[in-house]
Amino acid sequence: MKNIIKRKLPYLLFFLLSLPAFLSASGQEPTVTINFSKASFQKVLKEIEKQTSLSAVYNTADVDLNRIVTIKVEKERLSQVMIRLLKGTNLSFSISNTHIILSVKNTDKEKQQPKEPVKAKGTIVDNTGEPLIGVNVQIKGTSTGTITDIDGNFALNASKGDVLDISYIGYAPQAITIVNAEPLKIVMGEDTKVLDEVVITALGIKREQKALSYNVQQVKGDELTTVKDANFMNALSGKVAGVNINTSSAGVGGATRVVMRGTKSISANNNALYVIDGIPIFNTNNGNSNGQYSTQPKGEGISDINPEDIESMSVLSGPAAAALYGSNAAQGVILITTKKGKEGKVNVTISNNSTFMRPFIMPEFQNTYLNKPGAFQTWGDKGISAYGEYQPKDFFNTGTNIQNTVSVSVGNETNQTYISVGTTNSAGIIPNSKYDRYNFTARNTTKLLNNKMTLDFGLSYIVQEDRNLMAQGEYFNPLPAIYLFPRGENFNAIRMYQTYDETRKINVQNWTWGDPGFSMKNNPYWVINNMNHGTKKQRFMANINLQYQILDWLNVMGRVRIDNADNDYSDKRDGSTDTFFTNGSEYGFYKYSKADDRQVYSDVLMNIDKRLGDFSLSANVGGSFTQVYYNERGFQGGLKNMSNVYSLFNMNTTLDKDTYPIEEGYKQRTISAFASMELGWKSMLYLTMTGRNDWDSALRRTEQKSFFYPSIGLSGVISEMVTLPKAISYLKVRGSYASVGSAIPRNLSSEKKYVWNRSTSKWVMQTYRPLGKLYPERTDSWEAGVSSKFFNNSLSLEITWYKSNTKKQTFKVPISAGSGYDSMYAQSGNVENKGMEFSLGYNHKWNDFGWNSNVTFSFNKNKIVDLLTDYVDELTGTTYTLRETDQGGFGSARTILRKGGSMGDMYVNNRLKRDPEGNVWIDPATQNVKKEKIESSDDYIKIGSVLPKSNLGFRNDFTYKGFSLGFMFAARFGGIVLSPTQAAMDAFGVSKASALARDNEGISVNKGKVDPQTFYTETAGTSGLMANYVYSATNVRLQEASFGYAFPVRWFNNKLNLSLSIVGHNLWMIYNKAPFDPEVTASTGTYYQGIDYFMQPSLRSVGFNVKIQF
């Protein structure tokens, strides 16, 4: 039955969307019914605007609005009505997009007159008569232009007959011919109609918004630069529906986790694909940091982009929208459109963003109880320390993030250039951590061969350096010692973290506490100053786009992009670092690696855009080549005989588990052929189909050499088909289906037969059986939605429903050792995500006051429909079933995937021991509780899912003359988080909870009380009862706020725009029950989510922006 429904649903959807069109009696051109006798032309024109929802634009000096007219028509076409109204005048009209444009007819005599110099001046106002500030006024075909001042006035030198091009964001552009020196009064109509709005979609193809059968959410560049972050992706959080964005706890320069419409793949990457100017880029995300003893993370490639170079972003959250991008787009796409040079005079923009950061949410500590003499744990008596109150928060610096950009835009009709230089200099709240980036960007667009050929060429060069990024864990992290430091001791003593050793002639570590546990073998200040790690990167990106217009409806385009990055990573640990971290060397430790990231992309497209009567055809056919190459070489180990001399010649060469060469890499190629077709009927009904076939080198030496995936979609503009109530300005319904494939993990099919085992320092044979026929991972997705606008387009509502199933997931399955191998790869599994997305917007202006508001809400339900059930090995006939898979976790808390569960389910494998009556068992000898391990995984206790149930964003922007005020609330509902940090603090007696327990003279158990120290010794810490440290992840916050002022340009003789603003991020946590920020993640991978183990706190930032344009 399900298969029948799946086959029939596209036809049913097509029928439902087509029916209103065939029932519609009206054509594409609007009709008008009016009856006026001796009325003013202005009154008649207003009624026409009301009935057609079109805006009339004109020069008031050319149009006599008080002219008396008489007209009576019934359901007459608009063009015929306008011809009758303008008969006998010197006016002509045109209907363009959403406007009726009135202009003066040009006579042959006027055309023959020589041009006469004249001062062009005037005032530009909106439909209400209010002046418009900053309107671009330019003489067509020249670089001469200006902008209006605070009163809407402009003036520039011109000639009679020149045409003024007038443009302003949110208003319909106009072209006004200069007839004489009389002042002009120009009324600009709001561009509120969106039927012909153009958006950027897959492969950089421009399409009409009304034709799309899937959801595309757009974000303007200024929404990313008002409240900036060193990684601009963090500024997208809460602004689009259906996208979960988690900031890395590594702080400034850290990576970002971006997941759209739920996690889909069990073994593959679930982060979104990034596309710049239509070309996909391979984003190296090094933000993973899993487990108690993990190394610290690095950054990611997308953070190299300067947000000031971004014109806009489109979010393609569904597979149907991203199908043309191939296998990398199964998890959704972030489309980035960068700035180009603009036609007109030279425009220089200088911007500065300076923010200052402090910890946002921190654990709650105690200072009322002190430690016992000589003990690191704080389980002594109540008292006041002789050294004053210890506050761990004082360890953190005030972080800074200073971003500067200078850009220049210049151009004429045939050539436009954009150049920018940007700097980002950030210092984290962890002392001696930093992130620096320098961006150099140039782009040139040129038209050749009588404007038939367009050449678009861009270059970017990035220099980036980070030092001591720190996310979580015990290793290379000062926070365990900072948080757990014994109350009652002198913390200032450890600030003197090093002393000079006359014998060794080096500074040696000062740490008298030895090893108090939790890997606190080093002074925390030694960790941040003498155990340094970081990356130096140089990245070069170049792209060229050549397009030739063969016919007015046919063009061909070719694009090439190269993206090369050189990464030098070093890890230097000075002599006298505890030898556990130096592989036993008293001289220190050194790790060095050089990684080369290389990507080449090229494609060729033929684009068709043709109208045939009532039908329109837009089609694209092409092919692409992608190669991704990664090569890392290096060495690590203890220093040999000279302290702090970091050279490969001064390294131990005897290989063991911590001393070994680094040699990793891969090369992956994908050749693709693709096509798309959009067939429209009367600009109200659209059918879209796409298809793509990939030949991926990951499938080399397998039976399945390539894979094909299609998509189909329908959209219908109901407001064009039938007459709706006046309150409904625009209504569109849409639906789509897509099937997107993703190749098996790279290198599985390589000829490599041996791998190096670091723990044994020996070569071992490949342990998995050679691959059989493996299919690509497949995501089948359905989507339906409604787009609507109300009350003259001031209110908008977008609703989207989706459902996706990701199948053919690749599992490693244990097999009998008698086969010569210990495992094989099998494919099964089905992960389902279904949910809805809502976006409600309101935009209106009352004279000088404007209000723009937007609410986004989304929910997603993730379910594992199947793992591996009754899988039959074709070689042996053996049947395999995988009931569950353990994806790691922390201590007794594990992320376990089971059929019927979700990809965020967490279980615990221990609990308090209980007596036969169900009471907590108390050990008679110790008078303490006792934990017990749960032996069978069938009996593990589920504590919840780390996945959110829903997300909400509420943004408001107010403007009044030159003032602007904006703020955004963000909320996450549902899910759990886990805090081993709190467990460790309880075990060491430094938490507020441990003090309250002592104040209460014990912890209530059954009908009695247990001593807090003995209770926490048994139940807290990394081996304790993690079920006691589970918290709700629900949180509500004031995420962003800004207040600014744009100074009147007349203050600067109309030559300069200056704006200042005060900005803030994470200003107020309104609701949160967790002891840390639930939206911060230690890892940007699929798993190890919602776990805080001495994570760096999230950041509250306050600062200012300055922007100058001239």
pLDDT band at 97 (very low <50, low <70, confident <90, very high): low
Q: What are phi and psi of 931, to 5 degrees?
A: -90, 155
- Compute the distance between CA of residue 778 and CA of residue 776 in angstroms, rounded to an integer: 6
Is the separation of the CB atoms in 168 and 1066 below 8 Å?
A: no
Q: What is the pLDDT of residue 277?
A: 86
Question: What would the pLDDT profile of 437-495 be if each residue is shown by its tens digit?
Answer: 999 999 999 999 988 999 999 999 999 999 998 888 889 999 999 999 999 999 999 99
Q: Between the CA of residue 631 and those of 538, 542, 706, 766, 986, what are the distances in Å? A: 15, 21, 26, 21, 45
Please give the average per-residue pLDDT across 306-326, as a whole number: 80
Is the separation of the CB atoms in 537 and 566 below 8 Å?
A: yes
Instruction: Please count the CA atoms within 13 angstroms of the CA of 1108 that sit on its side-chain side.
Output: 9
**What DSSP state is assigned to residue 518?**
T
Instruction: Please count the CA atoms within 13 angstroms of the CA of 730 that sit on its side-chain side.
Output: 22
Residue 22: is its pLDDT beyond 70? no
- Compute the distance between CA of residue 807 and CA of residue 1048 in angstroms, rounded to an integer: 59
Residues in the chain: 1110
For domain 232-866+946-975+1033-1109, the question of CATH label 3.60.90.10 is answered with no
Residue 328: is its pLDDT beyond 50? yes
Q: Which residue has the tokens 């928060």?
A: 393
For helices 992-999 and 980-988, give the axis angle rounded to 10 degrees: 50
pLDDT band at 116 (very low <50, low <70, confident <90, very high): confident
Residue 551: is its pLDDT beyond 80? yes
**What DSSP state is assigned to residue 1049?**
G
- Compute the distance between CA of residue 147 and CA of residue 1110 in angstroms, rounded to an integer: 10
CA angle (617 as vertex; 611, 620 as ends), nearest 5: 135
Its pTM stands at 0.81
The type of residue at 157 is N
- Compute the distance between CA of residue 10 and CA of residue 6 in angstroms, rounded to an integer: 8
The proportion of the chain whose per-residue pLDDT surpasses 70, expressed as a percent, equals 92
Q: Which of 567, 566, 589, 595 lies closest to 577, judged by CA? A: 589
Q: Which residue has the tokens 């723990």?
A: 759
Q: Which of 564, 617, 570, 614 lies closest to 591, judged by CA? A: 570
What is the overall mean pLDDT for the chain? 86
Q: What is the pLDDT of residue 321?
A: 67
Same topology for domains 30-105 and 232-866+946-975+1033-1109, yes or no? no
Given CA atoms 202, 208, 212, 218 in this order, what sign does their dihedral have?
Answer: positive
Q: What is the pLDDT of residue 271?
A: 83
The type of residue at 425 is N
Instruction: Please count the CA atoms within 13 angstroms of the CA of 504 that sit on its side-chain side.
Output: 17
Please give the average per-residue pLDDT across 579-600, as a whole number: 94
pLDDT band at 72 (very low <50, low <70, confident <90, very high): confident
pLDDT band at 23 (very low <50, low <70, confident <90, very high): very low
- Compute the distance between CA of residue 221 and CA of residue 312 in angstroms, rounded to an integer: 5
- Strand pairing class (117-125; 184-187): parallel
For helices 41-52 and 78-86, give the axis angle rounded to 10 degrees: 170
Please give the average per-residue pLDDT across 137-161, as a whole number: 80
CA angle (866 as vertex; 861, 872 as ends), nearest 5: 165
- Strand pairing class (163-167; 256-260): unpaired
Q: What are phi and psi of 260, to 5 degrees?
A: -110, 130
Question: What would the pLDDT profile of 634-678 be if each residue is shown by its tens digit?
Answer: 999 999 999 999 999 999 988 888 899 999 888 989 999 999 999
- End-to-end CA distance of the chain, in Å? 66
pLDDT band at 292 (very low <50, low <70, confident <90, very high): confident
Residue 663 burial (CB count, 10 A) = 12
Tokens of 953: 């964003």
If DSSP states are collapsed to H, E and C, what string results for 856-907?
A: EEEEEEEEEEECEEEEECCCCCCEEEECEEEEEEECCEEEEEECCCCCCEEE
Please give the average per-residue pLDDT across 682-690, as a whole number: 90
Please give the average per-residue pLDDT across 138-166, as a whole number: 80
Q: Which of 536-540, 544-548, 681-685, 751-755 comes out lowest in average pLDDT?
A: 751-755
Q: What is the pLDDT of residue 953?
A: 94
Please give the average per-residue pLDDT across 285-293, as a whole number: 71
Distance of CA 929 to the CA centre of its chain: 47
H-run or E-run covering 43: helix 41-52
Is the separation of the CB atoms in 157 and 117 below 8 Å?
A: yes
Instruction: Please count the CA atoms within 13 angstroms of the CA of 598 that sit on its side-chain side.
Output: 11
pLDDT band at 203 (very low <50, low <70, confident <90, very high): low
Is the separation of the CB atoms in 274 and 188 below 8 Å?
A: no
Fold for the domain defined by 30-105:
Phage tail protein beta-alpha-beta fold (3.55.50)
Q: Which of 744, 751, 733 lies closest to 787, judged by CA? A: 733
Domain residue spans in the chain?
30-105, 232-866+946-975+1033-1109
H-run or E-run covering 32: strand 31-40
Question: Is residue 174 helix, strand or coil?
Answer: strand
pLDDT band at 190 (very low <50, low <70, confident <90, very high): low
Distance of CA 600 to the CA centre of its chain: 23
Q: Between the CA of residue 1102 and those of 6, 23, 399, 1042, 1065, what are the distances in Å? A: 52, 58, 11, 10, 7
Q: Between the CA of residue 1028 and those of 404, 549, 914, 983, what are the distances in Å? A: 47, 67, 16, 8
| Strand ranges for 575-698 from DSSP E | 588-612, 615-638, 660-681, 685-696
Q: Is pLDDT larger for residue 209 or for residue 117?
A: 117
Residue 985: is its pLDDT beyond 70? yes
pLDDT band at 109 (very low <50, low <70, confident <90, very high): very low
Q: What is the pLDDT of residue 408?
A: 95
Q: What is the pLDDT of residue 443?
A: 95
Q: Which of 58-62, 385-389, 577-581, 936-940 comes out lowest in average pLDDT?
A: 58-62
Residue 107 burial (CB count, 10 A) = 10
Tokens of 536: 């130096």
- Compute the distance between CA of residue 283 and CA of residue 263 in angstroms, rounded to an integer: 18
Tokens of 987: 């075990």
Q: What is the pLDDT of residue 5?
A: 38
- Compute the distance between CA of residue 301 and CA of residue 292 in angstroms, rounded to an integer: 26
Q: Is pLDDT larger for residue 100 or for residue 354?
A: 354
Q: Which of 419-428, 802-811, 1025-1034 comes out lowest in average pLDDT?
A: 802-811
H-run or E-run covering 108: helix 108-112
Residue 1083: is its pLDDT beyond 80? yes
Q: What is the pLDDT of residue 742?
A: 78
Question: What would the pLDDT profile of 904-927 be if each residue is shown by its tens digit?
Answer: 999 999 999 999 999 999 999 899
- Compute the distance between CA of residue 779 and CA of residue 321 in angstroms, rounded to an integer: 13
pLDDT band at 621 (very low <50, low <70, confident <90, very high): very high
Q: What is the pLDDT of residue 279?
A: 82
